[in-house]
Structure 1
Amino acid sequence: MTFLLQGCIMFGQNFAYNSFVPGELWKDNKGTHINAHGGGILFKNDTYFWFGEHKGSTNNAQVGVKVYSSKDLYNWKDEGVALSVSKDPDSEITAGSVMERPKVVFNEKTGKYVMWFHLELKGQGYEAARTGVAVSEHVTGPYQYLKSFRPNAGLWPENFKEDWRQPKPGLDSLRWHSDPWHEALKKGYFVRRDFEKGQMARDMTVFVDDDGTAYHIHSSEENQTLHISELTDDYLDFTGKYVRVQPDGQNEAPAIFKYQDTYYMITSDLTGWRPNAARSFKADSVLGPWKPLGNPVRGTEEDKKRTFSSQSTFILPVQGKNGAFIFMADRWRPEDPIDGRYIWLPVHFEEGKPVLKWYDEWDLDFFDQKENE
């Protein structure tokens, strides 16, 4: 017997998806809910590889980074654990640490796959604010953990004014979120504070430009300012070239893409695990300046306030379709993290701005219809 159920065709006990149904359970080839939260996708060897956080009953890492593969973006095969937590209690990635938002890129020069992720050390809450890096000869792993650190120690951002580099006594006593505190933040208070040990790096993504240069985009300065940093040729470190984006803008969950020589970015506000209104930006260069475009969500007021009850994680270019991008987001469930859902929606463009609209169900034919409009 064959019948259609929530975007998948059932053949006895087997099934195959033929559409996206945002927010619904999404099962892998084993019939298990896909466990790849805060993820990103790499297209290699005519295959999509989805890397994400494995979650269980808590948000702490107990397994590591999972990877799935797909030929069509609907049906995903469980390829196992790409980067495992360590059994060594002294390891930085021991079980119980926090490993978030993994992103994998392929380095054409070295032939290696490089994974970056946000790392918090076990038992330290979110105080470490580090970025971690791992590498593999094979796309599905296993990945070898190399190190974690706070980036750009002892270096000033390229768009940081000379007079802001000098010590400013008395700022430590400012009340957080007071007007003087916000003014001090804009003028680099946290950049100076963290200058020697390196800048904070939490929510992050990685973007590889057309010329092969890679960039690490992350929330810094107590999550109040985004930093965009250039990576070395092998993608395993930072060159030291970086900029501040939207100082005091309170942006996190960055997702970036390029279309028709323009760079676009979608982010979220800071409300913990609770959804909020998305923001969008554009620039002529990855390093900016970035121009605010406003909330990309179209729909009800509730949709706009909560971004369809989700938070951005990645924007995926669809292979073989010009101007086709998928907004990937997570619908977090902190009380039961493993049950977090995935919100995938097509990106529209209206008056030069990326726009997000809700669809209960949709498929990749959407982009073919768009081309014919």
Structure 2
Amino acid sequence: MKVKSTLILLTIAIFWQVGLAQKPSTTIVNFNKRGEQVMKFTSMGEAIDAHDGEIAYFKGVYYLYGTSYGCGFSWGIKDAPFCGFKTYSSTDMVNWTDRGAMFDASTPVWQSRCNGNTYGCFRPHVIFNQKTGLYVLWINVYDNRVGFRVFTSKSPTGPFKEVLEPKLAVNSDSPVAGLNNGDHDTFVDDDGIGYIAYTDWRTTGTIVIEQLSDNYLSGTGKHVKSVTAGNTEAPSLFKRKDTYYVTYSDPNCGYCSGTGTSYKTAKHPLGPWSEGIKISDNSCGGQPSFVSTIKLGSGNIYLYGSDLWNNAAKNESLANFYWAPLSFAEDGSINPMVCQEQVEVPLDKKSSTPVMISKSSLNKNSSLNNTTGTTGFTQFGDIGRNIKRAQTFLAKATGLLTGLSIATFKNGFPDQPLTLEIFEADEAQQPIGSKLTTITLPPDSLKWSVNMVNINPSIEVRAGTQYAFVLSSLTSKGFFGFAYNDNAIYKEGGASYSSDGGNSFKMEKDRSLMFHTTIQKANPNDKKEKRHT
């Protein structure tokens, strides 16, 4: 009997452990072990370029909405173009797919509303209206009186179409195109009533919360002013159990790398609201952007996001993100934030992991030869004048190098192209001999955000031979950059640096630049002697 009981208990324990092991989850990486910000990429090797927005969860899919900077938008620079708003989708918040623009922002109308000659357009937030079956997008603008424009779409990825200009209770008699209303969040309560929380710039940054119309396209006039006392912005409104929360940037500081996050609570969205409590002094190196309620079968998570701005750069393409769930005490208060290098987040279902590969760099006879992947990379820029960067790689097959993809970007308006040269490399991983090919990449062909550039060198390579690609530029303005990882992720080559125009290169310990190569293998029946071209 004792043996039988033991077997039953053992069986229960095994099933319990298997059940735990089968619970799907995902790991979000925010920083590496040195505390450096880690970039988030699409599965195609493009850096996520969607800032000051939110992550929304619709029908089992995560959607990241944000302002794009990759085309060169720079706040305060009058001839800078507006890049629009982008959408990315994912089933695990790690592997993202670029779903394109939320609407066409390249038109003269949108350029006049949002380009560098204006205050800009920011903070796309999307909610779903159960009654109308439409996804509703609110964005912050500064070309009208109300400070917002509204769109609808039948799909969470758009395209979104603009509807009539909304009306709100606050600053309705203020000058047109002034600093009236700003940073906002939209929220749908359990009963289907919608709300918008927004910043009143006329009162130096107090927060207002207003009930929306049944279709979520305008305000109703029912509102509460001065939820905060001022000098705040970027509110996020959400509900947990029977308590409403509003988090906000405390103080307000646009594009700052390290403002505080505070919150207040209430029993109704229109208050009264409690006194503020600060949960972070620096928002993990950025500025708070959103708190999204992710409703999973296992329970709700309240995902906090902050924009890790690039030291108030005019162009914020290189800004990163911090994402992690908030935690709560038994009394419902939000625990002080602990900035986490990485965090495990539950999922409703297991997600497959795609391979990073660009279709344009392959043909039907080519195969992936080397790849560094996209995990754990950060960025740096200094390529120009006497500074060159190099990366060696091992050819694992004999044939034609049909694809070389490198992660790069531009900054500061370079006036000369980025040059890529390929050499053989010696045992010390130094470029040697004559260059095998030279490819120039005009500045206009590159983005301000980190992207994989796909090149077809079309040179013959030999299995077991080391090669090096070298990046350089004669630009007299700005520079070009690269993505790198210092965790020795690529064992068959390494990165090096030259500060004397390429006369000598110094190896950088454990560093790899982000790249991948493809080779069209030689036909074994082809007896002809092959040479480099």
Both structures adopt the same fold (TM-score exceeding 0.5) = yes
Contact 1:151 1:199 (8 Å CA) reproduced: no
2:259 maps to 1:280 = no
Give the corresponding residue for 1:77.
97
CA distance in 2, matches of 1:138, 1:93: 25
- How far did 1:193 drift? 7.0
Match of 1:31 among 45, 49, 54: 45
**Alpha carbons of 1:244 and 1:92: their partners in 2 closer, same or farther (altered >3 Å)?**
farther
Per mean C-alpha deviation after superposition, the further-off stretch among 212-221 and 244-253 is: 244-253
Give the corresponding residue for 2:277.
294
**Alpha carbons of 1:198 and 1:340: their partners in 2 closer, same or farther (altered >3 Å)?**
closer
2:44 maps to 1:64 = no
2:25 maps to 1:20 = no
- How far did 1:86 drift? 4.4
- Note the alpha carbon deviations across 1:149-168, whole angstroms, 9 max, x for none: 66226xxxxxxxxxxxxxxx
- Note the alpha carbon deviations across 1:55-83, whole angstroms, 9 max, x for none: 13314662211001111222111111112
4+ runs deviating over 6 angstroms: 195-199
User: Normalising by the residue count of structure 2, what TM-score does the alignment of the two structures yield?
Assistant: 0.52
CA distance in 1, matches of 2:157, 2:173: 39
Counterpart residue type for residue 201 of structure 1: N
Counterpart residue type for residue 74 of structure 1: V
Counting aligned pairs with the same residue, the percent is: 27
Match of 2:153 among 136, 143, 159: 136
2:163 maps to 1:146 = yes
Counterpart residue type for residue 28 of structure 2: F
**Alpha carbons of 1:149 and 1:258: their partners in 2 closer, same or farther (altered >3 Å)?**
closer
Q: How does 1:187-266 map to 2 (within 5 A)?
A: 194=174, 200-222=180-202, 223-246=204-227, 248-266=229-247
2:48 match: secondary structure: coil
Q: Runs of 5+ in structure 2 lacking a partner?
A: 1-24, 31-36, 349-533
- How far did 1:245 drift? 3.0
2:126 maps to 1:115 = no
Give the corresponding residue for 1:100.
122
Give the corresponding residue for 1:46.
60
**Alpha carbons of 1:198 and 1:243: their partners in 2 closer, same or farther (altered >3 Å)?**
farther
Q: Runs of 5+ in structure 1 lacking a partner?
A: 1-16, 122-126, 154-190, 298-303, 368-373
Contact 2:166 2:218 (8 Å CA) reproduced: no
**Alpha carbons of 1:262 and 1:28: their partners in 2 closer, same or farther (altered >3 Å)?**
same
Give the corresponding residue for 1:330.
307
Contact 2:167 2:219 (8 Å CA) reproduced: no
1:141 match: secondary structure: coil
- How far did 1:210 drift? 0.5
- Note the alpha carbon deviations across 1:256-310, whole angstroms, 9 max, x for none: 221111011111112232232221111100111111241113xxxxxx2x22221
Give the corresponding residue for 1:271.
253
CA distance in 2, matches of 1:61, 1:242: 36
Give the corresponding residue for 1:176.
none
**Alpha carbons of 1:282 and 1:203: their partners in 2 closer, same or farther (altered >3 Å)?**
same
Give the corresponding residue for 2:392.
none
2:284 match: secondary structure: helix
- How far did 1:195 drift? 10
- How far did 1:50 drift? 1.3
- Structure showing greater radius of gyration is 2
Length, aligned pairs only = 302
User: Normalising by the residue count of structure 1, what TM-score does the alignment of the two structures yield?
Assistant: 0.73
**Alpha carbons of 1:339 and 1:192: their partners in 2 closer, same or farther (altered >3 Å)?**
closer
